[in-house]
Chain A
C-alpha cells in the first residue's frame, strides 16, 4: 500500500510547484553552466534529464514536480 501511496501526486506545501517557482531553473544551458562537467560525458539536452532543474533556494537537483514553503512567484519584470 505504501508503494501506491508513493505513486500519488504530492500537493505542494505552498500551493505552487517547483516548476513555476522563481528559484527553479531547468533550462539546459543554465544547468550545464551550474553543474561543472555535465556536458563532458553527458548533456543537459539529453532525454534522460527529463524535466530536472536546479532549485536555487535549496541547491538541489529536482524534477520540478514537488513544492515547498519557499515557493516564490517569478517577478513580472
Chain B
C-alpha cells in the first residue's frame, strides 16, 4: 500500500508554521481581539457592543426581550467569529463548505446554552453550561443528528486554544510569575509518577514499549495531543495510537463530570478544585469544561468558596504551564530511550533536540503575551480604579468573548465524539491506564488540597 502522494507534504518549517498550525491562528485571533480591545480602551471605547451575552433572567420573556433589542449584536458577533475562524480554517486547508454550516449550528446551540446558563435557577438544577453543552453534543452526535461530514467543522481544540489566549488577558502577569513555579512543581510530580505507573504496568503486562510510552504520556501530560506527539517521536503503531486515543477520550469525558462532582461533595474552594482538575484531567478542552463548570458554582451553591476565575486560572496554570509546555522534552527524552534502549524498527530516527521547539504548544505564547499586554496597560490603576474603569471597559468584554469560545469548544467535544467511530479500547490498555488514573487522582488531590491547598485557595487574592 502506498499513501496518496498528494496528501504528503513536507513538515511545516520556518514561516509556514505561522499559517498552517492552529496554535498560531489561535494567537492571531486571540491577540487581535486583545490588541483591538486595548486600543479602543485607550481611546475611551470598548469591545462591549460586540461582546454581547444573554442577561441573567427569571422568565423567558426577558430572554425574548433581550434578543429583540440586541439581535443585531448577536448577528454581528456570529459574523465576527465566522469570519475570523473561516479565514484560519481556509488557510489551514480545511473545507469551508463543511465548516460554515457546522459553525452556524454551533453558534445557534451556543446561544441556547448561554441562555440556559444565565437562568437564575440553573445552579439549583445542576445545569452547568459546560456540562449541558457536552451532553447535548454527545446526544446529537451519537443519535445521528448531525451528518458525519460536518464533524470536521467542530474544531474544539482550536476554539479552546483561542479561549486560552483570551484567558491570558484576564490573568495578571504577576500571578503567572508567582504561581507558575508551584504549578510546574505540582504538575511535574504528578506527571512523572503517572507516566511511571502506566508505563511500568503496561510493560509488566506484556504491552509493547512504544505502546506503553504512548499510553503513559496520554495519561500524564496532555492526553490525545501527547499521545500523537510521543507516537511520532518513538514510532508507535497506528493501532496503538488509536487505542490510546479511545482510552483517553473515555476517561477525559468521564472526568469532566466526576471531578466537579467530587469537588462539590468535598466542598473544595474553586482554586483548589481548579488545581486538582488541572492535575488530573487529560485534555485542555475537557479540563476547561470541568473547571468552568465548577467555577460557575461559586456564589451560587453554599459551601463553595472562591471565584469562578480562580478555578480557571488554577486549572490553566497547572495544565497548560505545568504539563503541556513540556511535551517537547518528553518527546525528545523518549526518542533517546527508544533509539538507545529499545529494539530498532523501520522508519526510526535519532532524537532531535529541535523537536522541543517544533512540538511546543505555541498558543501558550499567546496566553503569556495577552497577560503581559493587559498587565502593562492597566498597571497604573489603583485597585479601585481597576475595578471601576478597566474591568468593565477592557477585561469584561474580553472575558465574555472568551466564554463564547469555550462554549463553542464544549459543544464541539460532544459533537465530534462518535463512540461507534472510535477504535476498541482493549481490556489490558484500559486497565493499565485506569491504574494510572487512580494514582493520578489521589496524588493530585493530596497535592492540591493538603500540600499546596493554601496556595491554590488564595490564588490571586
Contacts A40-B156, A49-B359, A60-B345 given: A2-B340 contact, CB under 8 Å? yes
Q: Is the CB of A26 within 8 A of B9?
A: yes
Contacts A23-B2, A63-B355 given: A42-B348 contact, CB under 8 Å? no
Question: Which of chain B's residues have a CB closer than 8 A to the CB of A48?
Answer: 222, 225-226, 228-229, 327-328, 359-361
Q: Is the CB of B413 within 8 A of A28?
A: no
Question: Which of chain A's residues have a CB closer than 8 A to the CB of B241?
Answer: 35, 61
Residue ID in chain A nearest B423 by CB atoms:
A36
Question: Which of chain B's residues have a CB closer than 8 A to the CB of A55?
Answer: 346-347
Contacts A42-B283, A46-B21 given: A54-B238 contact, CB under 8 Å? yes
Residue ID in chain A nearest B331 by CB atoms:
A50
Tally chain B residues at the interface, Cβ within 8 Å. Answer: 84
Question: Which of chain B's residues have a CB closer than 8 A to the CB of A69?
Answer: 346
Q: Is the CB of A36 within 8 A of B11?
A: no
Question: Which of chain A's residues have a CB closer than 8 A to the CB of B223?
Answer: 41-42
B309 at the interface (CB under 8 A from A): no
Residue ID in chain A nearest B233 by CB atoms:
A63
Chain B at the A interface: SS class: helix
Interface residues of A in 1-34 (CB under 8 A from B): 2-3, 5-10, 18-19, 22-30, 32, 34
- How many residue pairs at the A-B interface have CB separations less than 8 Å? 239
Q: How far does the alpha carbon of A45 sit from the alpha carbon of B21 in the complex, in Å?
A: 5
Contacts A37-B224, A60-B235 given: A30-B7 contact, CB under 8 Å? yes
Contacts A41-B223, A41-B413 given: A72-B361 contact, CB under 8 Å? no
Of all A-B residue pairs in the complex, the 8 with the closest CB atoms, nearest first, are A51-B11, A52-B232, A66-B349, A74-B5, A68-B346, A42-B224, A25-B3, A41-B283
Residues of B within 8 A of A (CB): 1-5, 7-13, 17, 20-24, 92-94, 151-152, 154-158, 222-229, 231-233, 235-239, 241-242, 245-246, 248-249, 252, 282-283, 285-286, 327-328, 331, 335-336, 339-340, 345-353, 355, 358-363, 413, 416-417, 421-423
